Amino acid sequence: MERVLSAIDFLNDRLGRILSLGILLIFGLLILEVTLRYLLNSPTVWANELTQMIFGAYVVLSGGHLLWCGGHVNVDILYSRLSPRAKALTDVVTSSVFFAFCLMLLYYGGSLALESLGRWEHSQSAWNPPLYPVKLTIPLGALLVLLQGTAKLLRDILVLAGRREPQTPKPH
């Protein structure tokens, strides 16, 4: 069990670190486009659209990493005063709300992507790239969050069952 949990941590940690470099790609592509347009007077048809696709994947795949590192902002005015066990119990209760949202995103984001894949959807722009790869990142992003959320839920249950020490502050 512990090994599965740390494997999920490892996945979201590393994936986030790799994805975070996407900002350099976004930056590079935009500068390239501005340079080509103004200095060489030959704008590309693909740079801005490719930037947009990278951005889409970059943000939607960030959810799991953020959950791992505690990066989603929350209000801890009451929560921070609870004992570790009470925190675990509260987390188990509120996880139902978390799962409602993420499962919805997985299912309906997934059907959006499958529908796009089913007709090999392209963007219909001058460049006309396929859209389904980016659309598929929505259910994938939801899946990453769900994995991390499930790991968190299991840890909370183990704490409540007295089988695990409450978590020490997360690594950054």
Partner 1 sequence: MDIEVLTIVFFSALLLVLLLGLPLSFVLGGVSVVFLYFTWGPQSFYMVAAQTWGAMNKFTLVAIPLFIFMAMILERAGVAEDLYEMMYLWFGPLRGGLAIGTVAICAIFAAMCGISGAAVVSMGVIALPSMLKYNYDKELALGCINAGGSLGILIPPSVIMIIYAIISGESVGKLFAGGVVPGLLIAFLLSLYIGLRCLIQPHLGPALPKEQRGNLARKLLAIKAIILPLGVVVMVLGSMMGGITTPTESASMGVLGALISGLVHRRLTWALIKEASLRTFRLTGMIMWILFGAYCFSAAYHGMGAPGLVQDLMKHIPGGAWGSMIFIQAVLFVLGMFLDPAGIMMITAPIFLPVVKAHGFDPVWFGILFTINMEIGYMTPPFGFNLFYLKGIVPPSISMADIYRSVIPYTLVELGGLGLVMAFPALATWLPSKIF
Q: Are 92 and 156 in contact (CB under 8 A)?
A: yes
Tokens of 92: 């188990």
* Contacts (Cβ under 8 Å, ≥6 apart) of 48: 29, 30, 33
**Considering only 3-11, 59-67, 154-162, 163-171, which stretch makes contact with partner 1 by CB under 8 A?**
59-67
Q: Which residues pair with 89 in a beta bridge?
A: none
Tell me if 16 contacts partner 1 by CB under 8 A.
yes
Tell me if 51 contacts partner 1 by CB under 8 A.
yes
Looking up tokens 């990453």 gives 144
Q: How far is the CB of 122 from partner 1 (least distance, A)?
A: 14
Site residues (CB under 8 A) for partner 1, limited to 76-135: 76-80, 87, 90-91, 93-94, 96-102, 104-105, 107-109, 111-112, 134-135
Give 9 or 91: the residue with its C-beta nearer to partner 1. Answer: 91
